Amino acid sequence: MIGRKSIPVAHPVLEGNEKKYVLECLESGWISSIGPFIGSFEESFARFCGATYAVSCNNGTSALHLALAALGAGPGDEIIVPTLTFVATANAVRYCGAQPVFVDSQACTMNLNPELLEEAVTGRTKGIIAVHLYGHSADMDGIQDVARRHRLFVIEDAAEAHGALYKGRPIGSLAHAATFSFYGNKILSTGEGGMVTTSDASLRDRLRLLRGQGMDPDRRYWFPIVGYNYRMTNVAAAIGLAQLEQVDRFLDQRRNMACKYEQCLAAVHNYVEIQTEQPWAKHAFWSYPVILRDSVAIRRDDVMKALEQDGIETRPVFHPMHTLPPYRNAVGEYPVADRLATRGLCLPMHGLLNEDDICYISHRLAHWCTGSGT
C-alpha cells in the first residue's frame, strides 16, 4: 500500500498526567533521586502488584541485580534461568559472580518448563528466575514446587508482564521478589526505570541499602557494605505514577488488540501459532509473538524483511541465551527454545494501533506465509 504510514513495533503513550507531574519536578527543583513522586510511585506500584513493598531503581536490569544480590546470590552459586529470555536475566546473574544454568521452554507459554527444572538442580543451585515472557505468566506452581523442595529462592522477572495474572493473582506477588522494567517499549514506561516488589520487610531493607551505595540509613556517609547507585529519579517516578494511573486502560487496549489479532489470524492458523493464553493465566500482551509453522516455506527473516517493506516493524523472538557468545559454553539441548527463536517474530503491539492496523498487519503476514505471490 503506497503512502501508508509505517507501523512501529512498540510506542509509549504519554497522554495522562506525565507532563504535569514532570513540570512539578522542574518547578520544585526535585529532579534527582529524592522527591515526593518516588514514594508515591513505589506505594501505588506495590498496591497494583498485590505486594507489600516496592523498591524503585534505575532500570529493569539493576532491579534483577538488586534482587539477586539481596537474596544472597554470589560466586559459586548457580541460578536457573530460562534460555529463552532477554539477555538481562542472565547478565544479572553474572554481575553477582554466579553462574546461570539454562532450562528449555514450554511450547505453549514460551516460558520455563517446570518439568525440566528438577534435573537442572545441583548442590550449588541457589535460586530460580521465572520470566513472564511477552506478558504471559510462567507456570508458577510447578516452579515453586521444585523451589520449595530444594529450598531455592524464586525471582519473577516481570519486566514484560505488568498487570498479568497467574491463577487470579497478580504477577509481582508470587515469589520472594519480582522485578519490573519501565524501559520505553514496556507496558508502563518511565524512559528508563525499574522496580523490585516483595512482601518481605528485611528483603526490602536490603534492596534499599544496596540501591543507595550501601549507606547506613541511620548514619550518613557510613557504608557497611559495597552498594550500588541504582536509584530512580523523581522525574522518572513522576512519569511512572502518571503511567500507572492509566494502566487499566493500557491493559484493556492491549487485550482488545490481541483479540483482533487472534480473529484476523484465525484464517491462517495452519501457518502461524500464537502464544495462547492458558486458562490459568491473564496475559498482559506486552508483545504479540507468532511462530511460523513448519508448513511455511519462507524463512522467518525473509518474512520480517517483507513486512518491513510493507511498513510494518517487527522483532525476532529473542536469541536463546545458550546461543550467545558469553553463554555459549552451556551444555544441554534446548529444542523448544531453538524452534521458537528461529521461527518466531513479534508483531506490533502498543496503544497507538487501531483495528485497521491489526487487520493490515495480519493480512500482510498471511500473504507472505501462504506464499500467495506478491
Ligand X SMILES: *Cc1c(COP(=O)(O)O)cnc(C)c1O
Indicate the residue among 172 and 369 with the shorter CB distance to ligand X.
172
Give every CB contact of residue 374 below 8 A, 6+ residues apart in sequence: none
Q: How far is the CB of 331 from ligand X (least distance, A)?
A: 23
Nearest to 51 by CA among 158, 134, 173, 185: 173
Give the chain's end-to-end CA distance (angstroms, integer).
12
Question: Is residue 83 close enough to count as binding ligand X by CB under 6 A?
Answer: no
Question: 3-state DSSP call for residue 297?
Answer: coil
- Strand 78-82 vs strand 53-57: parallel, antiparallel, or unpaired? unpaired
Q: How far is the CB of 365 from ligand X (least distance, A)?
A: 23
Q: Given candidates 51, 131, 196, 291, which one binds ligand X under the rule CB under 6 A?
A: 131
Indicate the residue among 109 and 362 with the shorter CB distance to ligand X.
109
Q: Which of residues 156-175 bind ligand X (CB under 6 A)?
A: 157, 159-160
Q: How far is the CB of 62 from ligand X (least distance, A)?
A: 7
Are 317 and 305 in contact by the 8 Å Cβ rule? The answer is no
Indicate the residue among 51 and 265 with the shorter CB distance to ligand X.
51
C-alpha cell, 312: 510494518
b/e code 59-73 from CB counts within 10 Å (16+ = b): bbbbbbbbbbbbbeb
Question: 3-state DSSP call for residue 55?
Answer: strand
The stretch near ligand X (CB under 6 A) out of 86-94, 141-149, 333-341, 366-374 is: 86-94
Q: What's 278's DSSP letter?
A: P
Q: How far is the CB of 291 from ligand X (least distance, A)?
A: 18
Q: How far is the CB of 51 from ligand X (least distance, A)?
A: 18
Q: How far is the CB of 162 from ligand X (least distance, A)?
A: 11
Distance CA 27, CA 129 (A): 41
Question: Is residue 61 close enough to count as binding ligand X by CB under 6 A?
Answer: yes
The stretch near ligand X (CB under 6 A) out of 82-90, 102-110, 261-269, 349-357 is: 82-90
Which residue ranges make up the site for ligand X (CB under 6 A)?
59-61, 85-86, 88-89, 131, 157, 159-160, 181, 183, 194
